[in-house]
Each structure stands twice: as C-alpha cells, then as structure tokens.
Amino acid sequence: MPLKMKKETTNKTKFTSLLTSNSSPLTSVLIDPDCFDLRETESFLAKLPFHASSIFVGGSQVKKGATQKLVRQLKLYTQLPIVLFPGDYSQICSEADALLFLQLISGDNPEYLIKQQIKAVPYLKNTTLEIIPVGYILIDGGKTTSVEKTSQTKALNPNDLELILHTALASQYLGHQCVYLEAGSGAKLPVSEKIITTLANHLDIPIIVGGGIKNSKAMQQAFHAGAKMLVIGNALEKKEFFIRP
C-alpha cells in the first residue's frame, strides 16, 4: 500500500524526548544524500523496519544542496523526525526537525572540536531546529573510515576501555545531551558490548551507537548492553531489517 502524503498539521515529536523517554530502545535509519536516489524515496520509506523511530540525514562529505533536497523529499512522505547528522556546517537545513550538534571529542583536530560549530552559528541563530549537543566518539571498527579521513583524526582503540570511558564522561561533564559511539560506515566490527555496557554503567546520558551493525542479532546485543539508540545504514540492504510484524 502506498504511503500517504504527510499532513502539514502534524505535530513534530521532539527528538530529545525520544532519547530520554523510558520507552523501548530506538532505531534510526541513516541516509547519505550523495548515495540516495530521490526518485526512490517513497519505496525506500515503505521498506523501513517497523521499529524505526527517526531518520538521520548526512555524510562525511555531501554535495552542496543535496541535504536540503533530500530533507524536502522525505518530508513529503513521512512523519518520522528528520535529524541532521552533518559532516560539516554546509549540511545544515532548517527544514529538518533536529540537528545533532556534534563535537568530535575522540580527536584533537580543532576544526571538529569547535571551528565547525562556530561556522554553523550564523545558520542556526534564527532556525527552529532542535539543536542537540552530542559528544561524538570514534571507535576503531577494523578499517579506516571516511570520518577519520575527513576529520584527520584516529579512532580510539576498542581495547582501551579506560580512555573511552573517560572520554565519554568528559562529554557528559561538558553538558552534551548524549554520546554517539561511531565505528564508521561499513565497519568490519561494531562497537563491542563491553564498551557499551561499561559506559551505560557510568553515564547518566543516553548512548547512541552506529557503524558495523550487520544483523538483527547484533542489534539485540547492543540494546541489551545498554544502547538507547542504534543507527543503521548500509545494513538496510539486508532483507531481515525490513521485516514488519
């Protein structure tokens, strides 16, 4: 059955309220504007897993205007919150519902610690976007990712639990509303259960996990370990993620 066009009167669901609610764990779908055919929007959305609670839009490097075009197209066919997951300030789009205001705290490149955030301010001052401060932590997933190449930083060693924990706690102390653990697109290995459990036992803010989640079993393991939200990208090509109840 084709999806109905979204009604303009529909109230937005606050993304942070989803993260902080006592509801079941959440799943978000990540779409890279440069790798998505706008003509397939309706059919793509019809295949989303029933448990998808939001759509992330963004990539390490995206062509100018591609994010805006994708957000507008998605808004025609879905009521799910559209959340920007930008690689840089140029991907900001006021027509989305929320923005992950990322601070790459696992690296020491000032461009992604503060300079990109400052460049984003002129675009955010008058926007109605829900701005969510996020501590972004790269975890080595077995391959060099586009995020590492773009940010010119290295992912943290997954065996260095103390450093990962201290980095996540620093994120909480800085006032970030959540921590995002990223193994990277196409990662060979996802963020381990041990890492997620260690952080979940010490943090008071939600944990989002993305990268390398290849099947439903991996999803259940991450949720059981304490992740509040999982972000699925490349794995959506696998049929089991499309199963509906």
Q: Which domains does the chain have, with CATH numbers?
A: 23-242 (3.20.20.390)
Tens-place pLDDT, residues 31-88: 999 999 999 999 999 888 777 899 999 988 899 999 999 999 999 999 999 999 999 9
Q: Which two tokens stand for residue 112?
A: 């992604």
Token pair in block for residue 92: 């900001």
Share of the chain above pLDDT 70, in %: 90
Q: Report the alpha-carbon distance of residue 211 to residue 214 in Å, rounded.
A: 9
Give residue-wise pLDDT tens across range 114-142.
Answer: 999 999 999 999 899 999 999 999 999 99
d(CA 238, CA 92): 30
Residue 123, burial from CB neighbour count under 10 angstroms (0-12, 13-18, 19+) = middle
Q: Identity (one letter) of the amino acid at 47? A: K
C-alpha distance from residue 1 to each of 4, 28, 29, 166 (Å):
9, 23, 21, 49
What sign does the dihedral 194-182-71-19 (CA atoms) show?
positive
Q: Which of 57, 61, 59, 79 is nearest to 69 (CA)?
A: 57
Tell me, what's the pLDDT at 236? 65
pLDDT tens sequence across 204-242: 999 999 999 988 889 999 999 999 999 998 666 555 454
Instruction: Provide the whole-model pTM.
Output: 0.90
Torsion of CA 210, 213, 217, 219, to 10 degrees: 20
DSSP state of 69: H
